């Protein structure tokens, strides 16, 4: 995905998320032929399915892009992309794998019960990269709304609801880049010393 605001040069979301999710769904159905709600299988922390789902998303939040390098893996959850309230009690449809995404807790809690009309499901789609046509990362690492959508009330509500405009989003992106740079150059003795500063910055970030 080019120009994906969720990606750093060191850690990307994959291009084949949809096909990998379908493969995981088939595996779950094969292992559990009577399963009805896929969400219940994937949501169980520490299980094979939960771990595989996280790997599909490269341990990154599908909305803001933060990774487990910056925050604890315990702060990642399985989110219903279209909220359950939109399914009128149909937990089976709400829990289908194509409606599940990996989200950091901050985004998941902020997005809770946020509803939109059907057309916005394709606009906000995080798996095929459509959402990257709506938001972008500016030169100062802030997440912004693309000009053509700046007056769209639903998109603006989504942006504010998920707090994509907060300053901490800039710090998260900086930390992800710093970790990526360090890991890529960790064999260089001149680089090793910066790790303690990265960790110090991360601790301060997590104390906010």
Q: Count Cβ neighbours within 10 Å for each residue of 27-59 and write b for 16 or more, e otherwise.
A: ebeeeeeeeeebbebbbeeeeebbebbbebbbb
- Domain assignment of residue 195, yes or no: yes
Instruction: Work out the burial of residue 148: count CB atoms within 10 Å of its CB; fewer than 13 is exposed, 13-18 middle, 19 or more buried.
Output: exposed
- Domain assignment of residue 117, yes or no: yes
Structure tokens at 92: 């089976």
Per-residue pLDDT tens digits for 14-45 = 779 999 999 999 999 999 999 999 999 999 99
- Domain assignment of residue 175, yes or no: yes
pLDDT at 188 over 90: no
d(CA 156, CA 22): 31
Percentage with pLDDT > 70 across the chain: 99
Averaged over 165-175, what is the pLDDT?
Answer: 95
d(CA 126, CA 81): 9
- Domain assignment of residue 11, yes or no: no
Binning pLDDT at 50, 70 and 90, where does residue 124 land? very high
- Domain assignment of residue 144, yes or no: yes
What total of structural domains would you count in the chain? Answer: 1
User: For the whole prediction, is pTM greater than 0.85?
Assistant: yes
* Domain around 129: 17-206
Mean pLDDT of all residues belonging to the chain: 94
- Domain assignment of residue 64, yes or no: yes
Residue closest to 81 by CA, chosen among 53, 110, 111: 111
- Domain assignment of residue 3, yes or no: no
Per-residue pLDDT tens digits for 40-71 = 999 999 999 999 999 999 999 999 999 999 99
Q: Give the phi and the psi of residue 145 in degrees, each rounded to 5.
A: -90, 135
d(CA 172, CA 86): 31
């Amino acid at each position: 995905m080019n120009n994906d605001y969720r990606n750093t040069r060191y850690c990307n979301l994959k291009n084949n998320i949809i096909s990998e999710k379908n493969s995981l769904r088939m595996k779950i159905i094969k292992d559990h032929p009577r399963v009805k709600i896929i969400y219940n299988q994937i949501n169980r922390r520490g299980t094979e399915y939960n771990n595989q789902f996280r790997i599909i998303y490269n341990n990154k939040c599908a909305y803001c892009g933060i990774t487990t390098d910056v925050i604890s893996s315990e702060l990642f959850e399985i989110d219903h992309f279209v909220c359950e309230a939109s399914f009128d009690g149909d937990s089976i449809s709400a829990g289908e794998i194509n409606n599940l995404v990996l989200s950091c807790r901050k985004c998941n809690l902020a997005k809770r019960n946020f509803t939109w009309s059907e057309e916005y499901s394709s606009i906000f789609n995080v798996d095929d990269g459509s959402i990257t046509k709506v938001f972008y990362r500016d030169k100062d690492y802030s997440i912004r709304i693309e000009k053509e959508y700046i007056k769209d009330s639903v998109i603006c509500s989504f942006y504010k609801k998920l707090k994509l405009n907060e300053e901490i989003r800039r710090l998260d992106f900086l930390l992800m880049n710093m970790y990526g740079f360090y890991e890529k150059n960790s064999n260089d003795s001149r680089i090793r010393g910066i790790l303690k500063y990265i960790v110090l910055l991360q601790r301060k970030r997590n104390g906010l």
